[in-house]
Amino acid sequence: MDTTLPKRQRIKQQNRQSILDAGRRVFAEQGYDAATVRDIIRATPLAAGTFYNYFTSKEEVRQALEEELASALRPRLAEGRAEASTGEEFLSAFFSSVFALRTERGAGLEEADLRAGLDDLRADLDAAVGRGLFRALDTAALAAALLAAADDVANRLRRHGGDPAQATEAVTRLFLAGVQPP
Amino acid sequence: MDTTLPKRQRIKQQNRQSILDAGRRVFAEQGYDAATVRDIIRATPLAAGTFYNYFTSKEEVRQALEEELASALRPRLAEGRAEASTGEEFLSAFFSSVFALRTERGAGLEEADLRAGLDDLRADLDAAVGRGLFRALDTAALAAALLAAADDVANRLRRHGGDPAQATEAVTRLFLAGVQPP
Amino acid sequence: MDTTLPKRQRIKQQNRQSILDAGRRVFAEQGYDAATVRDIIRATPLAAGTFYNYFTSKEEVRQALEEELASALRPRLAEGRAEASTGEEFLSAFFSSVFALRTERGAGLEEADLRAGLDDLRADLDAAVGRGLFRALDTAALAAALLAAADDVANRLRRHGGDPAQATEAVTRLFLAGVQPP
Amino acid sequence: MDTTLPKRQRIKQQNRQSILDAGRRVFAEQGYDAATVRDIIRATPLAAGTFYNYFTSKEEVRQALEEELASALRPRLAEGRAEASTGEEFLSAFFSSVFALRTERGAGLEEADLRAGLDDLRADLDAAVGRGLFRALDTAALAAALLAAADDVANRLRRHGGDPAQATEAVTRLFLAGVQPP
DNA sequence: TATGAATGAGGCTTCATTCAT
DNA sequence: AATGAATGAAGCCTCATTCAT
């Protein structure tokens, strides 16, 4: 919170943040659809009417939260891919960053949140194809497949434990060399 | 509808089906969470209270619909896999059956519905690994990845057109041989 | 149940009795006001519509039950009063019969049920005044007072135990000789 | 109503009182069990939802009404008993205060309301026994009997007329000296 | 700008009762 | 007679939103 702002501005920022924090908590507990504006207000020290000075619906709160999350997530998810000099490095970077984030954030990070990074991933795949790391292929389909596989494995790691490094290696190999028997 | 049933029974069957049909329509239009029991009743010639003679909540309607869908879908989705004698045949069978169903049903078939076949797919993958069609690998992650890729490609085929056979071949090759440049 | 009745008649009697028994149970469990016709039907092997062949409302059921109860209760409550040759015998007879019934029937017998015997009591009091057992007094007020006292003591006997004979003697003396110190 | 309160507060007070008044009227007309929250709201200029800003159920309304009534009634009912120096004065005070209240309030005062004063009465009886006004006796049973007799006589006074002073004397004598012939 | 009570639409569900079978 | 599904009124309650203070 920037304390150099005039007091009025600072309070407004705080109230806005109060509502966002409450929204995050409430959505996490009840799910977006089950949550109501009232629930959000109640999780706040503010009065009911005040909500409408900042947002016009819970949908707007969700969008703001998603942006917050995406802007924190996307750089983390994209880490290491730009510098990859082989396809293996690229895939390893992707999978290990997903596994790391999932471990870090637990159930508070859903597949929907990972989608925030889907376009980045596809763009990076296109670039990688350009650099010759991968053969020419359907990068959109590949990006979707990578994300789904990463999510599936990450879920199992979180629920049943396991070594992220090993998992990274296995799933990297799956995409690198395909499914055919040796 | 068995017209040999006594009239009372026949009407009960019809009413139940009315509600299911209404539910399908309403969920498709508004989404499950936004839909209300009232919406479903209103999409029906029946009276409000009649709903509760058949279901106790919209959740029960959804479950019934899912079962209906799954029992129609799963056999179609699994077609051709059991008989596959190579990995390529297996993957081709999977992708082409997804593309066929998507073409056939249009937007009325969502990724969530495809998930009905996820467990089947994984079981068939395990069997295929046993038959030596694929090397030993993480079949759960692979199943998720295949489904996501199929869904992504199927969506693009539906929206922007394209040749399903070509698409099948491309995405089959993606998983068969991996992403590495030749 | 009179088995000499033709079969039709017998079944009708049984159904009527089914409903009455269900009504008694349901009213006892939930209270008259909270109970619904549906509750009564559900406590019965009969179908919903059948209820209306026998009664038109739960009120009618209650009346029938009250009559049943009253016709069983009133003679028991009135026992021994007609033969009393002193005021003390009369009062003793009244109190001990209330205490006996309460013990016997437990919580299934409420003050409202005792009221079924209120008019009888008053009539017997009038007769007793005529026989010179009591001085001329307001028998209506006395009957109400006797009933209330009996109910209060009977409740305490049931809840906290105690000797009915002693209780009878004490409360008889209360009304016989009044409250003045000796 | 304190007109020095800020407007918002004043309106809140008024609304609460509106609901209580409506509740009193509705309960009197239909009985507590038959009455619904809707009935209460409808007897009010307020909107449906407003009810729940003040009470969460009709039960809460009843409690509030009972407290209101009890706090108005109990002192009136207990008048004169503490100062009584004889048993006769005590009983006279009790009966005449019941008769006065019944005359004053008419049908709006039921036996159930009188029960609000039952515990007070019993406590005062205990104290009176301590002061030697009455012999040692079952004050709980006596209190119940006094209340029932008072209610019975009060009802007759209201319905068929009669002299309260005479009635007081008669029923006082009933309890003072008992029922035995001279 | 913040407050918080009022609003009334609208969700869910149960009920008494009817009536075709 | 007995059945039991259909009806739709009506109860309960919560909600998003407004608006006077």
Q: Which amino acid, one-letter code, is at A48?
A: A
* Half-sphere exposure of residue B53: CA atoms within 13 angstroms, side-chain side: 14
Question: Can chain D be said to touch chain A, i.e. do they have 3 or more Cβ pairs within 8 angstroms?
Answer: no
| Distance, CA of B111 to CA of B115 (rounded, Å) | 6
Which residue from D34, D147, D171 is facing C148, i.e. has the nearest CB? D147
Task: List the single protein residue with the shortest CA to C1' distance from F6.
Answer: B50
Cα angle A165, A167, A168; round to 5: 65
Strand nucleotide closest to residue A50 (CA to C1'): E2
Q: Which amino acid, one-letter code, is at D13?
A: Q
Domain A68-176 has CATH 2.30.320: no
| Distance, CA of A159 to CA of D18 (rounded, Å) | 57
| Distance, CA of C97 to CA of C119 (rounded, Å) | 16
Burial class (CB in 10 A: 0-12, 13-18, 19+), C1: exposed
Domain A7-56 has CATH 1.10.10.60: yes
CATH number attached to the domain at B68-177: 1.10.357
| Distance, CA of D19 to CA of D63 (rounded, Å) | 13
Q: Is the pLDDT of residue A178 over 70?
A: yes
Q: What is the mean pLDDT of residues B45-63?
A: 96
Quick one: tokens of D61? Answer: 């309304």
- The shortest C-alpha distance from A163 to chain B (Å) reads 14
Cα angle B27, B32, B36; round to 5: 85
Task: Answer yes or no: do B179 and A87 touch at CB < 8 A.
Answer: yes
User: What is the chain C residue with the closest CA to D154?
Assistant: C141
Is the minimum distance from the CB of B49 to strand E below 7 Å? Answer: yes
Could you say which residues 47-76 of protein chain C have a Cβ atom less than 7 A away from any atom in strand E?
48-49, 51-52, 56-58
Task: List, run by run, the mean pLDDT of 10-residue segments along chain C (182 residues).
Answer: 64 92 94 95 96 96 92 91 96 96 80 86 96 96 95 92 95 95 82
Between residues A106 and A146, the one the model is more confident about:
A146
C46-69 core/surface letters (b: 16 or more CB in 10 A; e: else): beeeebeebbeebeebbebbeeeb
Residue D5 confidence (pLDDT)? 64
Q: Determine how many CB atoms are found less than 10 A away from the CB of residue C179.
A: 24
Chain centre distance of CA C136:
27
Residue D1 confidence (pLDDT)? 44
Residue A53 confidence (pLDDT)? 96
Between residues D116 and A5, the one the model is more confident about:
D116
C-beta of residue C149 within 8 angstroms of C-beta of residue C171: yes
Strand nucleotide closest to residue A51 (CA to C1'): E2
Tell me the angle at which helices C139-160 and D139-160 cross, rounded to the nearest 10 degrees.
150
Each residue of D11-32: pLDDT tens digit? Answer: 999 999 999 999 999 999 999 9
Residue D2 confidence (pLDDT)? 47
CATH 1.10.10.60 intervals, chain A: 7-56
C-beta of residue A136 within 8 angstroms of C-beta of residue A129: yes
| Distance, CA of D147 to CA of D77 (rounded, Å) | 11
CATH 1.10.357 intervals, chain D: 68-177
Looking at every residue in chain A, the average pLDDT score rounds to: 91
Q: Is the pLDDT of residue B47 over 50?
A: yes
Q: What percent of chain B has pLDDT over 90?
A: 73
Phi-psi region of D68 (alpha: psi -120 to 50; beta: other; left: phi over 0): alpha
Quick one: tokens of D129? Answer: 């026994």
| Distance, CA of C143 to CA of C136 (rounded, Å) | 13
- The shortest C-alpha distance from B68 to chain A (Å) reads 25
Chain centre distance of CA D130:
26
Q: Which amino acid, one-letter code, is at B137?
A: L
Task: List the single protein residue with the shortest CA to C1' distance from E2.
Answer: A50
Q: What is the mean pLDDT of residues A46-75?
A: 93
Q: Determine how many CB atoms are found less than 10 A away from the CB of residue A148.
A: 24
| Distance, CA of C22 to CA of D62 (rounded, Å) | 31
Task: List the single protein residue with the shortest CA to C1' distance from F14.
Answer: D49
User: What is the chain A residue with the closest CA to B141?
Assistant: A149
Task: Answer yes or no: do B180 and A180 touch at CB < 8 A.
Answer: no
C-beta of residue C52 within 8 angstroms of C-beta of residue C41: no
Alpha helix locations (H) across chain C?
7-30, 37-42, 51-54, 58-78, 87-105, 111-114, 118-130, 139-160, 164-177
Task: Answer yes or no: do C141 and D152 touch at CB < 8 A.
Answer: yes
Each residue of D99-155: pLDDT tens digit? Answer: 999 888 877 777 878 888 899 999 999 999 999 999 999 999 999 999 999 999 999
pTM over 0.85: no
C-beta of residue B139 within 8 angstroms of C-beta of residue A176: no
Quick one: tokens of D44? Answer: 């009010």
When pLDDT is cut at 50, 70 and 90, the band that residue B182 belongs to is confident
User: What is the chain D residue with the closest CA to C35?
Assistant: D33
Residue B4 confidence (pLDDT)? 57
User: What is the chain C residue with the closest CA to D125?
Assistant: C179
Q: Is the pLDDT of residue A71 over 60?
A: yes
Q: Which amino acid, one-letter code, is at D11?
A: I
C-beta of residue D94 within 8 angstroms of C-beta of residue D150: yes
| Distance, CA of D143 to CA of C121 (rounded, Å) | 20
C-beta of residue B177 within 8 angstroms of C-beta of residue A175: no
Strand nucleotide closest to residue C9 (CA to C1'): F1
Which residues in C have their CB inside 8 Å of a CB on D? 33-34, 87, 91, 132-135, 137-138, 140-149, 151-153, 156, 170-171, 174-182
A36-58 core/surface letters (b: 16 or more CB in 10 A; e: else): ebebbbebbebeeeebeebbeeb
CA neighbor of C128 nearest in space, from C67, C73, C87: C87
Q: Is the pLDDT of residue B1 over 50?
A: no
Q: What percent of chain D has pLDDT over 70?
A: 97
| Distance, CA of B100 to CA of B95 (rounded, Å) | 9
When pLDDT is cut at 50, 70 and 90, the band that residue A3 belongs to is low
Task: Answer yes or no: do C175 and D171 touch at CB < 8 A.
Answer: no
DSSP secondary structure string, chain B?
A: --TTS-HHHHHHHHHHHHHHHHHHHHHHHH-TTT--HHHHHHTSSS-GGGHHHH-SSHHHHHHHHHHHHHHHHHHHHHTTTTT--SHHHHHHHHHHHHHHHHHHHGGG--HHHHGGGHHHHHHHHHHHHHTTSS-S--HHHHHHHHHHHHHHHHHHHHHH---HHHHHHHHHHHHHH-S---
Q: How many CB pairs under 8 A join A and B?
A: 114
Which residue from C91, C141, C171 is facing D141, i.e. has the nearest CB? C171
